[in-house]
Amino acid sequence: MLLAGDGLKPSSAGRRVAFDEKGGSSVLDGPFAETKELVAGYMIWEVSSLEEALEWVRRSPIRSGVVEVRPLYTAEDFGEALTPELSEA
């Protein structure tokens, strides 16, 4: 069920890439003080539904804080935009 999981270093060790509307980008060094909530770690689970994932969270040993549960995108989410060429890339 658990495919991956790790803790993340603090935002002071991170970078963000900001994109502009002209296609340019810039790199911003952490820490990111303006952010009120940061992701501290992640887990990737293979489950059959969002409801099953919520059941696993409720069974976890976590007893304080908040866990956000989100599904990953799949190829089906992109519909016709995911051409065979993009899929191969």
pLDDT tens column, 49-70: 888 999 898 888 877 777 888 8
Give the number of domains in the chain: 1
21: tokens are 């509307």
The domain in which residue 45 lies consists of: 2-88
Q: What is the pLDDT of residue 37?
A: 66
Handedness of CA 49, 75, 73, 4 (dihedral sign): positive
- Show the low-confidence residues of the chain (pLDDT under 70): 34-37
List of residues 6+ apart from 28 with CB closer than 8 A: 15, 16, 17, 18
